[in-house]
Amino acid sequence: MTASLKFGSVSLLPSEEEVEPSIYASLEAEYRITAAADSTSWGNAERIITAVRSHLQDGSLASVTAQDNREGTIKVRVESETYDGLAAGESALMAQTQVKGYNTLEWTPNVALARPTVFDVVYSYMDFDFDDFDETILRRTYKLTLALLPFGRSKDLITVQATSSGGSSTAPSYTLINDGGSLANWSGTHEVTQTDGYVQSRGGGIQVSPGTVNAYLTYDPSTFSMGGQPYLAVDYYVATASPDGTPPAVTVTDGDNTAQKLLYKAVMVAPSDRAGFSRAFYQIPYANVKTLRFEPVFTYVGSNSSDPYILRIDKIQRSATLPSIGTNRQRARSLTVPGSARARAKLIITADAGKTLGDLTMIYTRTATTGMQPPLRPFLVSSSSVTADPTSTISGGFNSMNSSMVFLVPANRLREAMFSLVLRMSSTAVGTAPITWSAALVSASNTDLPETGQIVSGVTTVNFPNTTYLTAEVGLLQLPTVPVAPDSANLIRLTISTTSNTLYFDEGWLFDLDNGVLSWVDSTGLTRLEARTADLTNPEPSYWGGSTNGGGETNLVRADYRVWSFGTHVFEPGVVDVLTVTSGTEGSACQASFYPCWHTHAGAVAA
Amino acid sequence: MNPLVWMKVDGKPMSAVQAGWGEPVITNRQPYGCWEVTWSVPVLRQTRRTSLMAGKSVVVYAGPAPIWSGRMTEPNWDTGEMVAEGWVRQSEQTICLDSTGKTSSNPDVVIAQAIARGALKWVQRSSFSSVDFVPGSTTDNLNYVKALLDAVTSTASLYWGVNARQELYTAPSNPAPMWKAAPDSGQMGTTDRALVGTLYGRYLLADGTLQTAVVPNPDLNGPEVGIDLTKLGTMDLSKATSILNSILSKGRARTGWTNGIELTSSQISSLGGSQLRSGAMVVAGQGLRLEGLRDPRGLGSRTDIVLAETIWDVAQDTIQCNPVGLEARDLGSIIEDEGGEMLAFSS
């Protein structure tokens, strides 16, 4: 078995590859360097643990907030025919500890079968212990100590596209398949009932240990046609011990070949027109369908074993397209970060050919969750009439702000956090206008509750220096005003009004700043924007903007001075949601470029 | 580094000015609003950043929202400590004048003039007060803007300040609680050193005669305290009475506190129960309810305080909450409070 260990350009294990000639080659010195397994270790990342003050009666709360450098040690033996050769070997090693910039340590357990892992060296030094016997046999032993970044990384840079789940800019039209009005053709593994327009499967909370429970709900009519439309739209509601309302997967049986069935996960979740429910979309390849079996997975952790598990289906429809949130100037995307540790990445947005990003670019990232997406227009229930305008708005329409606007957001979709309210508005008159906002908890039918008295509100004066669209941050809100149980149907009523009668509203956002990261840049004239997390060569997060010149190249220039919200985007392994808003271009490509990071050994990365 | 909190100095993000800058400590006060921010930069031997000079504007943000603004004072390059003071501090060095250069005691006139000649970098969104504090507006002495605004708000139960958007504001002095602290978050010690019972104010009428206004404290029989209001110029009975009422409402009617408390964000939630994860929204002027802590001044089963000063250390995630009514405990302040002065050598 041939392994390979390279410190910079010096190989620390004999291999078939030629050792790179050292600068002392003119002395015709020859040496052999061999690392020894004993006393060699890659070290381990140091954990930084932060305590959290709590009232736990037993035990204490703490979390690992970050990892610090690991210390690797390698024992190397230099052997040669001549004493000058020994010194040349020592010099070759010394040169690597003094490399300008940052060096790398590359370890491949088996050159033929394993993939290399690279550790970034922050600094390194070497020590020597004198041994008289070794001197007589022309052998010297050194100990290399290296301070390494906590995680190993893959050798190759990869680029991952953030794929958009947004479709056309018009709302899809739906054809009803089942309206949840009766139990005909419905069955399930647990208690199945029908009430209030929905079909429900419910299990009592008798789970006594952590684990998962499958509570299937099956719709099995005579074979029905998908009418050439590929999307199944299901209005669902889940109550589960893990409070993020993940839509159920569905096993679909092909109507033309009932032996054929496949399990599908939702490609998109959008608001439903029934309060408290969400609409999940599945992409189905069959022309005809026999059976739909909904398979929510309820996960019990810890001591929440008495919560019931409930799945409700309000209606099943089919549609030709997916809804998008407004125009394609605003797109909800997601990208998958491979690896097993947090990576340092460059997030890149580029405008379509011939377009610039516009004066507004916002990038909002968070670890994937089906919690509420920031855009507010889908939740607008009351306002002056909306005029469609797909060319100059983000949301696809605008309305006057003469009447106050009311948004209703499901309270269980908001994690307890600090939210920033950002509005995009225009004014027909230059000057200032006060914007008043308030949020309160209300019932599922928008009636007041005792909790409605807990109001979060404020007034902010916004200055309109001209009559074009302006994006303004108007306040910080701690939401939800009163936390609710995961199965609650209560809503947060957000009211926005102004005394000015010259204002128009395009779109608003509620950005969760505790669980997500917002970058907001004035991207006037830019065709490309990069948001980079800190890395060894640039230890601060930074923004870079490029504008395509006549030669088609983008001259990247530091764009920090254009920033209205500075964010250090986090790329943890798994799915990262990316919401992009670009006022100047409908199409935009979004990708992340990075080295996947691993605990200690690089793994395979899907192509 | 807390990814949420960042700063702009001289219009540029701090990380673009100097890499490796350290966590800010943000102080707000009520009255006065944004008071001070300190942060640290690596000590540089040979270079100086031109953006880090006295007078450069500083804004601290949480995400897209400004949470503090002011300007730099002289940086300390030996230690790398940077200090910025809130825009309200400009009023300590701005004279009250009207547009013709005469002294004035009309707050709206004084503020507008100071902004127009560039002495104050505030934004005035609404009228502060259009009433001449001294009849006839002109004063015999030169006054600083801060002294005038302090005097004007002392006649109403108000605080004033300059907020993170550089806007001048007034706020009620006894707001309802906005946040609550978890039980066992701290203990409040009390002192009755500043307790007042009935207030007697000696004031000057327009015809030059002296009169006394009396405001009894309905809550308890406390010591009688005499206050000299003649320095504020001539006034009538109703104005004198409202000044005395304002003193009572600003905490003098009850025993004072001897200490503030230090909280982390995990101990603070909104009144509705929504837990905070950072101290960005807790600022002086808001009310804080200390749950489960009996009010040692009376019969309440919980204690509501109004925050007079909040100091948020972002790196440690601690918020020092000092309440209104925090009594001075050092000898110099106590003597000064009594109207005296510490002796210094004079031949």
pLDDT for the residue numbered A369: 67
pLDDT for the residue numbered A353: 79
Residue B246 has pLDDT above 80, yes or no: no
Lowest mean pLDDT of A241-255, B160-174, B230-244, name the range: A241-255
Q: What are the backbone dihedrals phi and psi of residue A225, each rounded to the nearest 5 degrees, phi first? A: -95, 150
Q: What are the backbone dihedrals phi and psi of residue A410, each rounded to the nearest 5 degrees, phi first? A: -60, 125
The two beta strands, A211-214 and A297-300, are antiparallel
Cβ atoms A261, A216 nearer than 8 A: no
Nearest residue in chain A measured CA to CA from B267: A53
C-alpha dihedral (B283, B284, B285, B287), degrees to nearest 10: 70
Indicate the length of chain A as a whole number: 607
Nearest residue in chain B measured CA to CA from A50: B316
**Separation between Cα atoms, residue A265 and residue B304, nearest integer Å:** 51
Contact B266 A422 (CB under 8 A): no
**Separation between Cα atoms, residue A10 and residue A27, nearest integer Å:** 18
Cβ atoms A123, A100 nearer than 8 A: no
Q: What is the mean pLDDT of residues A518-529?
A: 91
What percent of chain B is modeled with pLDDT above 70? 85
- How crowded is residue B94: how many other Cβ atoms within 10 Å of its Cβ? 22
**DSSP bridge partners of A270:** A279
Contact B15 A540 (CB under 8 A): yes
What percent of chain A is modeled with pLDDT above 90? 33
Contact B15 A566 (CB under 8 A): yes
Q: What are the backbone dihedrals phi and psi of residue A458, each rounded to the nearest 5 degrees, phi first? A: -175, 170
The top-scoring range by mean pLDDT among A101-105, A238-242, A257-261 is A101-105
Residue A246 has pLDDT above 80, yes or no: no
Q: Shortest CB distance from A476 goes to which of B12, B274, B280?
A: B280
Residue A151 has pLDDT above 50, yes or no: yes
Q: What is the DSSP letter of B137?
A: S
Contact B3 A568 (CB under 8 A): yes
**Separation between Cα atoms, residue A68 and residue A72, nearest integer Å:** 13
pLDDT for the residue numbered A19: 46
Q: Shortest CB distance from A518 goes to which of B1, B13, B63?
A: B63
Contact B274 A482 (CB under 8 A): yes
What percent of chain B is modeled with pLDDT above 90? 26
Residue A241 has pLDDT above 80, yes or no: no
CA A124 to each of CA A8, A21, A100, A240, A266: distance values in angstroms, whole numbers, following the listed order: 11, 22, 12, 51, 49
pLDDT for the residue numbered A27: 44
pLDDT for the residue numbered A76: 92
Write b or e for each residue in A418-452: b if 16 or more Cβ atoms lie within 10 A of its Cβ, otherwise e: bbbbbbbbbbeeeeebebbbbbbbbbeeeeeeebb
**Separation between Cα atoms, residue A267 and residue A287, nearest integer Å:** 19
The three-class DSSP label of residue A450 is helix
The DSSP annotation for B105-135 comes to --HHHHHHHHHHTTS---EE-S-S--S-SST
Task: Compute the nearest-CA separation of A19 from chain B (Å).
Answer: 39
pLDDT, chain A, mean: 84
Contact B20 A540 (CB under 8 A): yes
Interface mutation target, options B166, B274, B289, chain A, most CBs of A under 10 Å: B274
Contacts of A304 (CB under 8 A, 6+ apart): A241
Q: Which residues of B touch A54 (CB under 8 A)?
A: 266
Confidence class for position A478, pLDDT limits 50, 70, 90: very high
Residue A219: how many CA atoms within 13 Å on its side-chain side? 25
The top-scoring range by mean pLDDT among A377-386, A479-488, B193-202 is A479-488
Q: Which of residues 4-23 of B touch A (CB under 8 A)?
A: 4, 6, 11-13, 15-16, 19-20
Cα–chain-centroid distance for residue B309?
7
The two beta strands, B123-124 and A117-128, are unpaired
Q: Which amino acid is at B63?
A: G
Q: What are the backbone dihedrals phi and psi of residue A276, each rounded to the nearest 5 degrees, phi first? A: 90, -15
Task: Compute the nearest-CA separation of A51 from chain B (Å).
Answer: 10
- Token look-up 């009433």 returns B131
Residue B59 has pLDDT above 90, yes or no: yes
CA B129 to each of CA B77, B111, B169, B206, B248: distance values in angstroms, whole numbers, following the listed order: 43, 10, 11, 21, 22
The three-class DSSP label of residue B259 is coil
Contact B125 A563 (CB under 8 A): no
Residue B242 has pLDDT above 60, yes or no: yes
Q: Which residues of A touch B285 (CB under 8 A)?
A: none
Q: Is B68 on the interface with A (CB under 8 A)?
A: no
pLDDT for the residue numbered A17: 46
From the list B84, B85, B105, the residue with the least C-alpha distance to B95 is B105
Residue A490 has pLDDT above 60, yes or no: yes
Confidence class for position B234, pLDDT limits 50, 70, 90: confident
pLDDT for the residue numbered A298: 66
Cα–chain-centroid distance for residue A161?
12
Q: Shortest CB distance from B273 goes to which of A483, A511, A540?
A: A483
HEC profile of A529-572:
EEEECCCCCCCCCEEEEECECCCCCECCEECHHHEEECCCCCEC
Residue A259 has pLDDT above 80, yes or no: yes
Contact A514 B278 (CB under 8 A): yes
Q: What is the mean pLDDT of residues B157-177?
A: 89
pLDDT for the residue numbered A22: 46
Cβ atoms A307, A205 nearer than 8 A: yes
Burial label for A282, CB within 10 Å (0-12, 13-18, 19+), is buried
The top-scoring range by mean pLDDT among A74-83, A268-277, A429-438, B320-329 is A429-438
pLDDT for the residue numbered B178: 92
Q: Is B65 on the interface with A (CB under 8 A)?
A: yes
**Separation between Cα atoms, residue A90 and residue B328, nearest integer Å:** 67
**Separation between Cα atoms, residue B279 and residue B179, nearest integer Å:** 11
Q: What are the backbone dihedrals phi and psi of residue A451, each rounded to the nearest 5 degrees, phi first? A: -70, -15
C-alpha dihedral (B141, B147, B150, B155), degrees to nearest 10: -10
Q: What is the mean pLDDT of residues B28-40?
A: 92
Cβ atoms A491, A407 nearer than 8 A: no
Contact B272 A54 (CB under 8 A): no
pLDDT for the residue numbered B45: 73
Confidence class for position B337, pLDDT limits 50, 70, 90: low
**Separation between Cα atoms, residue A423 and residue A539, nearest integer Å:** 33
pLDDT in tens, A2-17: 888 999 988 888 765 4
Interface mutation target, options A50, A53, A572, chain B, most CBs of B under 10 Å: A53
Lowest mean pLDDT of A189-193, A202-206, B14-18, B23-27, name the range: A202-206
pLDDT, chain B, mean: 82
pLDDT for the residue numbered A169: 41
Contacts of A540 (CB under 8 A, 6+ apart): A534, B15, B16, B19, B20
Q: What global pTM score does this model have?
A: 0.77
Interface mutation target, options A360, A432, A500, A566, chain B, most CBs of B under 10 Å: A566
Task: Compute the nearest-CA separation of A581 from chain B (Å).
Answer: 15
From the list B176, B163, B177, B179, the residue with the least C-alpha distance to B263 is B179
Confidence class for position A507, pLDDT limits 50, 70, 90: very high
**Separation between Cα atoms, residue B268 and residue B263, nearest integer Å:** 7
Residue A136: how many CA atoms within 13 Å on its side-chain side? 2
**Separation between Cα atoms, residue A355 and residue A148, nearest integer Å:** 43
Residue A281 has pLDDT above 90, yes or no: no
pLDDT in tens, B263-289: 888 889 998 888 898 889 999 989 999
Sign of the Cα torsion A494, A499, A505, A510 reads negative
Q: Which residues of A touch B183 (CB under 8 A)?
A: 55
**Separation between Cα atoms, residue A212 and residue A296, nearest integer Å:** 10
Contact B63 A567 (CB under 8 A): yes
Residue B344 has pLDDT above 60, yes or no: no
Residue A239 has pLDDT above 80, yes or no: no
**DSSP bridge partners of B191:** B256
CA A583 to each of CA A331, A512, A543: distance values in angstroms, whole numbers, following the listed order: 11, 21, 18
Nearest residue in chain A measured CA to CA from B264: A53
**Separation between Cα atoms, residue B288 and residue B284, nearest integer Å:** 10
pLDDT for the residue numbered A209: 60
Q: Shortest CB distance from B271 goes to which of A454, A513, A539?
A: A454
Task: Compute the nearest-CA separation of A242 from chain B (Å).
Answer: 19
pLDDT in tens, A325-381: 667 788 888 888 999 999 999 999 988 878 888 899 999 998 866 567 898 887 887
Q: What is the mean pLDDT of residues A153-181?
A: 78
pLDDT for the residue numbered A71: 94
Token pair recorded at residue B274: 């929504």
Cα–chain-centroid distance for residue A586?
22
Confidence class for position A168, pLDDT limits 50, 70, 90: very low
Residue A324 has pLDDT above 80, yes or no: no
Residue A170 has pLDDT above 70, yes or no: no
The three-class DSSP label of residue A83 is helix
**Separation between Cα atoms, residue B152 and residue B159, nearest integer Å:** 10
Q: What is the mean pLDDT of residues A405-430?
A: 91
Task: Compute the nearest-CA separation of B263 from chain A (Å).
Answer: 9
Task: Compute the nearest-CA separation of B3 from chain A (Å).
Answer: 6
pLDDT for the residue numbered B261: 87
Contacts of B86 (CB under 8 A, 6+ apart): B32, B33, B34, B35, B36, B68, B69, B70, B162
Q: What is the mean pLDDT of residues B175-184?
A: 87
Contacts of A315 (CB under 8 A, 6+ apart): A176, A177, A178, A179, A180, A234, A235
The top-scoring range by mean pLDDT among A189-193, A208-212, A386-390, B84-88 is B84-88
**DSSP bridge partners of B321:** B261, B310
From the list B84, B17, B79, the residue with the least C-alpha distance to B43 is B79
- How crowded is residue A170: how many other Cβ atoms within 10 Å of its Cβ? 12
Nearest residue in chain A measured CA to CA from B184: A55
**Separation between Cα atoms, residue A417 and residue B82, nearest integer Å:** 31
pLDDT for the residue numbered A409: 87
Cβ atoms B301, B294 nearer than 8 A: yes
Nearest residue in chain A measured CA to CA from B281: A476
Q: Is it true that the peptide bond before A109 is cis, omega within 30 degrees of 0?
A: no
Lowest mean pLDDT of A378-382, A404-408, B38-42, name the range: A378-382
pLDDT for the residue numbered B336: 54
Task: Compute the nearest-CA separation of B262 from chain A (Å).
Answer: 12
Contacts of B101 (CB under 8 A, 6+ apart): none
- How crowded is residue B249: how many other Cβ atoms within 10 Å of its Cβ? 16
Contact A53 B266 (CB under 8 A): yes
Interface mutation target, options B8, B15, B278, B316, chain A, most CBs of A under 10 Å: B15
Q: Shortest CB distance from B64 goes to which of A420, A481, A560?
A: A420
